[in-house]
Structure 1
Amino acid sequence: MLTFLIETFYKVDEPLVFGIDETIERRRGAKIKAKGIYRDPVRSSHSHFVKCSGLRWMCLMLLTEVPWAARIWALPFLTALAPSERYCKEQHAKHKKITDWARQIIGLLARWLPGKKLIITADSSYSALELLAAIKSKVTMITRLRLDAALYEKVPERKAGR
Protein backbone atom coordinates (compact mmCIF):
# COMPACT_ATOMS: atom_id res chain seq x y z
CA MET A 1 0.00 0.00 0.00
CA LEU A 2 2.83 2.39 0.85
CA THR A 3 4.47 1.81 -2.52
CA PHE A 4 1.18 2.50 -4.29
CA LEU A 5 0.66 5.75 -2.34
CA ILE A 6 4.20 6.94 -3.12
CA GLU A 7 3.89 6.12 -6.82
CA THR A 8 0.51 7.88 -6.99
CA PHE A 9 1.29 11.09 -5.11
CA TYR A 10 5.07 11.69 -5.28
CA LYS A 11 7.65 12.28 -7.97
CA VAL A 12 10.74 10.07 -8.03
CA ASP A 13 13.24 12.61 -6.66
CA GLU A 14 11.01 14.29 -4.05
CA PRO A 15 11.65 13.75 -0.33
CA LEU A 16 8.86 11.77 1.32
CA VAL A 17 7.03 13.51 4.17
CA PHE A 18 5.37 11.50 6.93
CA GLY A 19 3.51 12.27 10.13
CA ILE A 20 3.50 10.18 13.29
CA ASP A 21 0.99 10.49 16.10
CA GLU A 22 -1.12 8.41 18.43
CA THR A 23 -4.88 8.25 18.69
CA ILE A 24 -7.27 6.72 21.20
CA GLU A 25 -10.00 4.38 19.99
CA ARG A 26 -12.72 4.56 22.60
CA ARG A 27 -13.77 0.96 23.27
CA ARG A 28 -15.62 -0.80 26.05
CA GLY A 29 -16.47 -4.38 26.80
CA ALA A 30 -15.14 -7.50 28.45
CA LYS A 31 -13.40 -8.73 25.29
CA ILE A 32 -11.33 -5.56 24.81
CA LYS A 33 -8.18 -6.61 26.65
CA ALA A 34 -5.49 -4.01 25.91
CA LYS A 35 -7.48 -0.92 26.85
CA GLY A 36 -6.04 1.65 29.17
CA ILE A 37 -6.90 5.01 30.70
CA TYR A 38 -5.31 7.99 28.97
CA ARG A 39 -5.50 11.77 28.92
CA ASP A 40 -8.12 12.86 26.39
CA PRO A 41 -6.31 15.41 24.17
CA VAL A 42 -9.53 16.77 22.67
CA ARG A 43 -11.46 17.49 25.86
CA SER A 44 -8.52 18.32 28.14
CA SER A 45 -6.84 21.70 28.55
CA HIS A 46 -3.91 23.00 30.59
CA SER A 47 -6.18 23.60 33.58
CA HIS A 48 -8.70 20.76 33.08
CA PHE A 49 -7.68 17.08 32.88
CA VAL A 50 -10.11 14.61 31.27
CA LYS A 51 -9.46 10.86 31.22
CA CYS A 52 -10.83 8.41 28.68
CA SER A 53 -10.71 4.65 28.34
CA GLY A 54 -9.77 2.86 25.14
CA LEU A 55 -7.04 1.50 22.89
CA ARG A 56 -4.05 3.68 22.03
CA TRP A 57 -2.87 3.30 18.44
CA MET A 58 0.30 4.79 17.01
CA CYS A 59 -0.18 5.81 13.37
CA LEU A 60 2.34 6.54 10.63
CA MET A 61 0.86 8.60 7.80
CA LEU A 62 2.06 9.76 4.40
CA LEU A 63 1.50 13.52 4.11
CA THR A 64 0.66 14.54 0.56
CA GLU A 65 -1.24 16.99 -1.55
CA VAL A 66 -4.30 15.33 -3.04
CA PRO A 67 -5.16 16.83 -6.48
CA TRP A 68 -8.89 17.32 -5.78
CA ALA A 69 -8.40 18.82 -2.29
CA ALA A 70 -7.08 22.22 -1.31
CA ARG A 71 -4.96 20.94 1.57
CA ILE A 72 -2.47 18.28 2.57
CA TRP A 73 -3.96 14.94 3.57
CA ALA A 74 -2.55 12.43 6.03
CA LEU A 75 -2.94 8.95 4.55
CA PRO A 76 -2.35 6.32 7.28
CA PHE A 77 -0.65 3.13 6.16
CA LEU A 78 0.82 1.67 9.37
CA THR A 79 -0.68 1.42 12.85
CA ALA A 80 0.58 -0.29 15.98
CA LEU A 81 -1.28 -0.93 19.22
CA ALA A 82 0.62 0.70 22.08
CA PRO A 83 -0.89 -0.83 25.24
CA SER A 84 -0.94 0.87 28.61
CA GLU A 85 1.58 0.27 31.37
CA ARG A 86 -1.11 -1.37 33.52
CA TYR A 87 -1.98 -3.85 30.77
CA CYS A 88 1.69 -4.76 30.29
CA LYS A 89 2.08 -5.40 34.03
CA GLU A 90 -0.97 -7.67 33.99
CA GLN A 91 0.50 -9.61 31.06
CA HIS A 92 3.96 -9.73 32.71
CA ALA A 93 5.38 -7.97 29.66
CA LYS A 94 7.84 -5.11 29.48
CA HIS A 95 6.11 -1.79 28.85
CA LYS A 96 7.35 0.26 25.88
CA LYS A 97 7.07 4.04 25.95
CA ILE A 98 5.61 5.99 23.04
CA THR A 99 9.10 7.04 21.99
CA ASP A 100 10.19 3.38 21.87
CA TRP A 101 7.24 2.55 19.60
CA ALA A 102 8.11 5.54 17.40
CA ARG A 103 11.78 4.47 17.11
CA GLN A 104 10.72 0.99 16.08
CA ILE A 105 8.16 2.19 13.52
CA ILE A 106 10.53 4.77 12.02
CA GLY A 107 13.27 2.14 11.77
CA LEU A 108 10.84 -0.12 9.90
CA LEU A 109 9.95 2.72 7.52
CA ALA A 110 13.64 3.43 6.84
CA ARG A 111 14.19 -0.27 6.11
CA TRP A 112 11.23 -0.32 3.70
CA LEU A 113 12.48 2.76 1.81
CA PRO A 114 16.29 2.54 1.61
CA GLY A 115 17.99 5.41 -0.17
CA LYS A 116 14.95 7.71 0.02
CA LYS A 117 15.02 11.06 1.81
CA LEU A 118 12.50 10.73 4.65
CA ILE A 119 11.08 13.65 6.63
CA ILE A 120 8.89 12.96 9.66
CA THR A 121 6.77 15.55 11.47
CA ALA A 122 5.55 14.99 15.01
CA ASP A 123 4.24 16.84 18.03
CA SER A 124 6.25 17.57 21.18
CA SER A 125 5.67 14.05 22.56
CA TYR A 126 8.38 12.88 20.17
CA SER A 127 11.04 15.48 21.01
CA ALA A 128 12.88 13.09 23.36
CA LEU A 129 16.65 13.19 22.88
CA GLU A 130 16.93 9.38 22.98
CA LEU A 131 14.50 9.03 20.07
CA LEU A 132 16.10 11.80 18.02
CA ALA A 133 19.59 10.36 18.56
CA ALA A 134 18.46 6.85 17.58
CA ILE A 135 16.91 7.90 14.26
CA LYS A 136 19.11 10.81 13.18
CA SER A 137 21.04 8.76 10.61
CA LYS A 138 17.85 7.39 9.03
CA VAL A 139 15.43 10.33 8.78
CA THR A 140 15.00 14.05 9.30
CA MET A 141 12.65 14.66 12.23
CA ILE A 142 10.70 17.89 12.68
CA THR A 143 9.21 18.24 16.12
CA ARG A 144 8.39 20.97 18.59
CA LEU A 145 10.87 21.53 21.40
CA ARG A 146 9.84 22.24 24.95
CA LEU A 147 9.79 25.89 25.97
CA ASP A 148 12.66 25.32 28.41
CA ALA A 149 14.84 23.43 25.89
CA ALA A 150 18.51 24.39 25.89
CA LEU A 151 20.45 24.18 22.64
CA TYR A 152 24.20 24.36 23.09
CA GLU A 153 25.59 24.15 19.57
CA LYS A 154 25.57 27.18 17.29
CA VAL A 155 23.15 27.04 14.38
CA PRO A 156 25.03 26.87 11.07
CA GLU A 157 25.04 29.96 8.87
CA ARG A 158 22.23 30.18 6.32
CA LYS A 159 23.16 29.84 2.69
CA ALA A 160 21.96 32.47 0.26
CA GLY A 161 18.56 31.69 -1.27
CA ARG A 162 17.49 29.32 1.51
Structure 2
Amino acid sequence: MPTLPPYIPDGLDEVMIRQVVFGFYDQVRADAELAPVFDARIAPEAWPHHLETMCDFWSSVLMRTGRYHGRPMPKHLALPELTDAHFHRWLSLFRITVRDLCPPAVADLFLDRAFNIAQAFRLQIAIRDGRDALAVEPFTEADLTPAA
Protein backbone atom coordinates (compact mmCIF):
# COMPACT_ATOMS: atom_id res chain seq x y z
CA MET A 1 0.00 0.00 0.00
CA PRO A 2 1.52 3.41 -0.95
CA THR A 3 2.37 5.85 1.81
CA LEU A 4 0.26 8.98 1.75
CA PRO A 5 2.07 12.31 1.94
CA PRO A 6 1.78 14.18 5.23
CA TYR A 7 -1.13 16.56 5.62
CA ILE A 8 0.06 20.01 4.60
CA PRO A 9 -2.61 22.69 4.95
CA ASP A 10 -3.05 25.36 2.30
CA GLY A 11 -0.66 28.24 2.90
CA LEU A 12 2.05 26.19 4.58
CA ASP A 13 5.29 26.47 2.65
CA GLU A 14 8.93 27.32 3.23
CA VAL A 15 8.19 31.06 3.03
CA MET A 16 5.56 30.76 5.78
CA ILE A 17 7.93 28.72 7.96
CA ARG A 18 10.64 31.33 7.51
CA GLN A 19 8.24 34.16 8.41
CA VAL A 20 7.18 32.34 11.58
CA VAL A 21 10.73 31.45 12.66
CA PHE A 22 12.13 34.94 12.08
CA GLY A 23 9.06 36.66 13.56
CA PHE A 24 9.02 34.43 16.61
CA TYR A 25 12.70 34.79 17.39
CA ASP A 26 12.44 38.57 17.00
CA GLN A 27 9.97 38.39 19.90
CA VAL A 28 12.14 35.96 21.89
CA ARG A 29 15.21 38.16 21.56
CA ALA A 30 13.23 41.13 22.92
CA ASP A 31 11.54 39.18 25.74
CA ALA A 32 12.71 39.87 29.30
CA GLU A 33 12.17 36.25 30.36
CA LEU A 34 13.50 34.33 27.35
CA ALA A 35 16.18 36.61 25.90
CA PRO A 36 18.67 35.99 28.74
CA VAL A 37 18.50 32.20 28.21
CA PHE A 38 19.26 32.59 24.50
CA ASP A 39 21.77 35.42 24.92
CA ALA A 40 23.85 33.29 27.28
CA ARG A 41 24.27 30.63 24.58
CA ILE A 42 23.91 32.23 21.16
CA ALA A 43 26.37 34.94 20.25
CA PRO A 44 24.99 37.77 18.11
CA GLU A 45 26.97 36.59 15.09
CA ALA A 46 25.59 33.04 15.52
CA TRP A 47 21.94 34.07 15.22
CA PRO A 48 21.73 33.79 11.42
CA HIS A 49 22.90 30.17 11.61
CA HIS A 50 20.50 29.43 14.49
CA LEU A 51 17.57 30.88 12.55
CA GLU A 52 18.42 28.80 9.49
CA THR A 53 18.63 25.71 11.72
CA MET A 54 15.21 26.51 13.17
CA CYS A 55 13.80 26.88 9.65
CA ASP A 56 15.21 23.44 8.82
CA PHE A 57 13.74 22.06 12.06
CA TRP A 58 10.22 23.35 11.42
CA SER A 59 10.38 22.35 7.75
CA SER A 60 11.22 18.81 8.85
CA VAL A 61 8.53 18.76 11.55
CA LEU A 62 5.71 20.21 9.46
CA MET A 63 6.54 19.22 5.89
CA ARG A 64 8.71 16.13 6.50
CA THR A 65 11.52 17.54 4.36
CA GLY A 66 14.22 15.82 6.41
CA ARG A 67 16.42 18.92 6.40
CA TYR A 68 16.99 18.93 10.16
CA HIS A 69 19.39 16.36 11.54
CA GLY A 70 20.06 17.72 15.02
CA ARG A 71 19.18 16.47 18.47
CA PRO A 72 17.44 19.29 20.36
CA MET A 73 16.66 17.35 23.52
CA PRO A 74 20.25 17.09 24.86
CA LYS A 75 20.79 20.81 24.23
CA HIS A 76 17.71 21.68 26.27
CA LEU A 77 18.49 19.17 29.01
CA ALA A 78 21.87 20.88 29.42
CA LEU A 79 20.10 24.08 30.55
CA PRO A 80 19.53 23.66 34.29
CA GLU A 81 17.69 26.98 34.54
CA LEU A 82 14.84 25.94 32.19
CA THR A 83 11.51 25.84 33.98
CA ASP A 84 7.87 25.40 33.06
CA ALA A 85 7.62 29.19 33.12
CA HIS A 86 10.06 29.36 30.19
CA PHE A 87 8.03 26.85 28.18
CA HIS A 88 4.82 28.68 29.06
CA ARG A 89 6.30 31.96 27.82
CA TRP A 90 7.80 30.28 24.73
CA LEU A 91 4.41 28.82 23.81
CA SER A 92 2.63 32.11 24.51
CA LEU A 93 4.93 34.03 22.15
CA PHE A 94 4.79 31.24 19.60
CA ARG A 95 1.00 31.27 19.65
CA ILE A 96 0.93 35.04 19.10
CA THR A 97 3.31 34.68 16.16
CA VAL A 98 1.49 31.88 14.37
CA ARG A 99 -1.96 33.33 14.99
CA ASP A 100 -0.76 36.67 13.56
CA LEU A 101 1.09 35.28 10.53
CA CYS A 102 -0.63 32.06 9.48
CA PRO A 103 -3.99 30.95 8.16
CA PRO A 104 -5.93 29.16 10.94
CA ALA A 105 -5.18 25.60 9.75
CA VAL A 106 -1.45 26.36 9.49
CA ALA A 107 -1.40 28.04 12.91
CA ASP A 108 -3.22 25.04 14.40
CA LEU A 109 -0.65 22.64 12.94
CA PHE A 110 2.29 24.74 14.19
CA LEU A 111 0.71 24.92 17.65
CA ASP A 112 -0.08 21.23 17.81
CA ARG A 113 3.55 20.39 17.12
CA ALA A 114 4.85 23.11 19.46
CA PHE A 115 2.73 21.83 22.37
CA ASN A 116 3.92 18.27 21.74
CA ILE A 117 7.55 19.34 21.58
CA ALA A 118 7.26 21.46 24.73
CA GLN A 119 5.63 18.57 26.60
CA ALA A 120 8.38 16.15 25.55
CA PHE A 121 11.03 18.58 26.78
CA ARG A 122 9.14 19.23 30.04
CA LEU A 123 8.85 15.50 30.73
CA GLN A 124 12.55 14.89 30.14
CA ILE A 125 13.49 17.88 32.31
CA ALA A 126 11.28 16.54 35.11
CA ILE A 127 13.04 13.18 34.86
CA ARG A 128 16.44 14.89 34.81
CA ASP A 129 15.49 16.81 37.95
CA GLY A 130 14.18 13.71 39.75
CA ARG A 131 10.56 14.88 39.66
CA ASP A 132 7.53 12.74 38.91
CA ALA A 133 7.02 13.00 35.15
CA LEU A 134 3.45 11.74 35.54
CA ALA A 135 2.66 14.95 37.40
CA VAL A 136 3.68 17.11 34.41
CA GLU A 137 0.36 18.09 32.90
CA PRO A 138 0.44 19.23 29.27
CA PHE A 139 -0.17 22.90 28.60
CA THR A 140 -3.19 23.78 26.50
CA GLU A 141 -3.80 26.93 24.54
CA ALA A 142 -6.24 28.04 27.26
CA ASP A 143 -3.34 27.96 29.76
CA LEU A 144 -1.31 30.51 27.82
CA THR A 145 -0.96 34.22 28.44
CA PRO A 146 -3.64 36.05 26.49
CA ALA A 147 -2.54 37.60 23.22
CA ALA A 148 -1.30 41.16 23.59
TM over 0.5: no
More strand by share: 1
More helix by share: 2
Q: Which has the higher contact order (CA 8 A, sep 6+)?
A: 2
**TM-score of the superposition, structure 2-length normalised?**
0.29
Structure with higher Rg: it is: 1
